[in-house]
Amino acid sequence: MHAVIRSEALIVANRITGTVLRFDGSKGYGYIQAEKGLEVFVHYTAIQGNGIKTLAAGEKVEFILEESYRGPLAQEVVRLA
C-alpha cells in the first residue's frame, strides 16, 4: 500500500499586486482582483501587520498567490502605500 501526500496549497507565483474588491470584516474574508484579472480569495489570517486584520474595497495590496483545492488564495497580504 502506498501513501500519497498532497500539499494543501501550491505556490503559483512570487508576490503580485491587486486591488481589494470587497472584504467582510464580520466574516473575516473577501476578494482581491489580481493585476492579471484573477479574483483571489483572502482570509483575515493572511493579512500582515499589527492591529485589526481587515481590508477596505479599493485598497492596493501585494500578496503571494497560492492555488488551493478551492481555488486562488492570497497569502502574506500587505497594503501598498
* Phi, psi dihedral angles at 31 (to 5 degrees): -140, 145
Alpha carbon distance, N-terminus to C-terminus of the chain = 53
**pLDDT, tens digit only, all 81 positions of the chain:** 444 444 455 555 578 999 999 999 999 999 999 988 899 999 999 999 888 899 999 999 999 999 889 999 999 999 997
- Residue 13: per-residue pLDDT: 53
Whether 28 contacts 47, CB under 8 Å: no
* Phi, psi dihedral angles at 46 (to 5 degrees): -90, -10
Give the domains, in start order, of the chain with CATH numbers.
Answer: 9-79 (2.40.50.140)
pTM > 0.85? no
Cell of 47: 493579512
Cell of 66: 497560492
- Residue 29: per-residue pLDDT: 97
